[in-house]
Amino acid sequence: MQFSAALQLAALITAGFLAQWLAWRVRLPAIVFLLLIGLILGPALGWLNPEAVLGELFFPVISLGVAIILFEGAATLRFREVRGLQGTVLRLVTVGAVVTMGLLAVAAHYIAGLSWGLAALFGALTCVTGPTVIAPILRSVRPNIRIANVLRWEGIVIDPIGALLAVLVYEIVRNGQGGHSWMVFGETVLVGSVVGAVSALVLAVLLRRHLIPEFLQTYGTLALVLLTFSGSNQMAEESGLLAVTVMGMILANIKGLAIEEIVSFKEHLSTLLISGLFIMLAARMPWPLPPGAWWMGLAILLIAQLIVRPVAVWVSTVGGGLNWRERALIAWIAPRGIVAAAVSALFALKLDQQNLDGSDYLVPLTFALIIGTVVLQSFTAGPIARRLNVLAPKPRGVLLVGANEPAREIAKALIAQGFPVRLADDDWFDVRAARMDNLPTWYGDPVSERAVDSLDLSGIGQLFAMSSRRELNNLACVYYRSEFGRNAVYELAIREPGEGTAAAEAAEGIKAPYLFGASTSIALLHERLQQGWRIKATRMAEAFGKDDFFALYGQEAIALFSVDEQERLRVVAQGRPLVVKTGWTIVALVPPKERDILPFVG
């Protein structure tokens, strides 16, 4: 059945969305469903032929898409995140990459019968992990921060290194001249590094001097990324991947340069590109497969998972400051991604044109390793991490912006219910008072670069913005929304209802829900605490429920939060009334006068 090019493109985008949605629902990397859809639409049903749709633009589109994905990933990498682990990451992407490449080449030669040249090319293509598949696994598994940072950095940095190794081996296979190939390799590294660095510095100057209006910054960045990639490739073949990676890493580590909105846009664009690229690459898989390709792919997968990766990690992490449990999980997680798929497809096409024996096995074996590592590790990494006891703390805690008296009393109430807290404030007198109460504190601006460096958020999953400064509360909610999620940030009202300014009303659309309700302000809490009101925790029972509680303390009592039978925090906020059932604990600010002696009072 023949379909128009427009319909095929529309179906491609729709299928990508469905794959991403399904991956979100079942908490697996989207690549599994993207490749499956591509195989069904392409080889199985014959409905999608990407090269027929895009024609000569097929591989340029693939290449530009990979460039944007690599830049977006590199622009999130800050050197401070791997402080103390730089040596480990460096060895993983150098020594580890060479060990992986060599062992996989041996496996491909003896199992699939590839020539040593093609086997080395296969090893170079598949020695890379991928940020597009690492990130979903890390979000699902949630290992500790040391493991997450090592794997994330490895996934970004090794992609262009693997591509460069593939270029080197490809030149050797094509020309058979080692000296010439090494000269090409050196030229590729030099050109890519210089072009990427220059582009980053040019963009930084343009952004810092506000020479690009804010509404055009994302557009301009995207244009410069594509120009950097294409221009670098024009000067030295296949140097573009390194150029955009260097560009992203430099921009991410220039102090005072705000690129968060740019990176956010690139992240959304990358999702679209990843979806389309994986489906298109899978759709052009040759069918039927070459003889024996499926069992060869399975054998190489087992060797890669059980021998190659553990050896490479163990060699690379000796003396790196990681314990054996952390090294073991890193040795298990190494999914292959978009760069392996795209570059293998590109080189396979070039080698097919030269009628090189065995080149038809390159793509099937690469895709088998991609699918196998992603599926196997997605299902097993979580249980292994739990068994090794290397998971990050469950994010039950609360970050309180502000260390004033109401914030300190709320922090004490949270701690009494078993929730970790951290108070962050740049008011030294309030921080000192909190420390006198033995509360965990952090002194400084909670929305600064220094906070990113040193504010420990392990185990923290919600934000209470309780500063007496509205601007800081608003900024903190926007700042931490991406960290905790839109439904986990709250800000305490500054004024009583009806006392708001026009500016505050204008900002209503971007505000977080009011903590403890719109009628509860920081001024009211200060006043009540000065009058002797106190925070009281009461467990609900069949004989004493919510109505009885408010009948005892009066309707003026201020409900703060409740804790359910699974010890989950349920915050009272604007649009989120108090929820409490038998066996739950209600925590409220109550008048000083005792009206009765209650059972189940904390």
Predicted local distance difference test score (pLDDT) of residue 1: 56
**Does 312 score more than 50 pLDDT?**
yes
- The fraction of the chain above a pLDDT of 70, given in percent, is 85
Between strands 460-465 and 397-401, the pairing is parallel
Residue with tokens 């997680």: 333
447 and 377 in a common domain: no
Tell me if 595 is assigned to some domain.
Answer: no
**Does 291 score more than 60 pLDDT?**
yes
Tell me if 241 is assigned to some domain.
Answer: yes
Residue 491 pairs in a beta bridge with 465, 514
Burial of 315 (0-12, 13-18, 19+ CB in 10 A): middle
- The domain boundary, picked from 388, 415, 443, lies at 388
**Does 597 score more than 50 pLDDT?**
no
Cis peptide, bond prior to residue 288, ω within 30 of zero: yes
Q: Stretch 345-362: mean pLDDT, rounded?
A: 72
Q: Stretch 257-270: mean pLDDT, rounded?
A: 66
527 and 422 in a common domain: yes
- Kindly report, residue by residue over 59-88, the tens digit of the pLDDT: 788 788 878 877 876 776 666 655 655 788
Q: Stretch 404-423: mean pLDDT, rounded?
A: 94
Tell me if 596 is assigned to some domain.
Answer: no
Burial of 26 (0-12, 13-18, 19+ CB in 10 A): exposed
409 and 345 in a common domain: no
Q: Which of 257, 263, 305, 301 is nearest to 156 (CA)?
A: 263
Q: What is the pTM of this model?
A: 0.65
Predicted local distance difference test score (pLDDT) of residue 600: 43
Residue range(s) defining the domain that contains residue 272: 5-388
CA distances from 36 to 67, 130, 276, 305, 528 (A): 24, 18, 13, 21, 61
Q: Stretch 320-341: mean pLDDT, rounded?
A: 86
Give the mean pLDDT of the chain: 82
- The domain boundary, picked from 339, 370, 388, lies at 388
200 and 89 in a common domain: yes
**Does 499 score more than 60 pLDDT?**
no
Tell me if 81 is assigned to some domain.
Answer: yes
Considering its fold, how many domains does the chain have in total? 2
56 and 182 in a common domain: yes
- Kindly report, residue by residue over 219-234, the tens digit of the pLDDT: 888 899 999 999 998 9
**Alpha-carbon gap, residue 108 to 293, rounded angstroms:** 11
403 and 382 in a common domain: no
Q: What amino acid occupies position 524?
A: L
Predicted local distance difference test score (pLDDT) of residue 596: 45
Tell me if 601 is assigned to some domain.
Answer: no
* CATH code: domain of residue 442: 3.40.50.720
Structure tokens of 509? 């659309």
- Kindly report, residue by residue over 355-377, the tens digit of the pLDDT: 667 778 888 888 889 889 988 98
Number of CB atoms found within 10 A of residue 602's CB? 14
Tell me if 602 is assigned to some domain.
Answer: no
Tell me if 600 is assigned to some domain.
Answer: no
Predicted local distance difference test score (pLDDT) of residue 89: 83
Q: Which of 60-74, 141-155, 541-555 has the lowest mean pLDDT?
A: 60-74
341 and 404 in a common domain: no
CA distances from 245 to 92, 94, 249 (A): 17, 16, 6
479 and 345 in a common domain: no
Q: 515 falls in which pLDDT band (50, 70, 90)?
A: very high
305 and 232 in a common domain: yes
441 and 314 in a common domain: no
366 and 309 in a common domain: yes
- The domain boundary, picked from 388, 421, 456, lies at 388
Q: 177 falls in which pLDDT band (50, 70, 90)?
A: low
Tell me if 418 is assigned to some domain.
Answer: yes
Number of CB atoms found within 10 A of residue 486's CB? 10
433 and 376 in a common domain: no
* CATH code: domain of residue 223: 1.20.1530.20
Between strands 534-539 and 585-590, the pairing is antiparallel
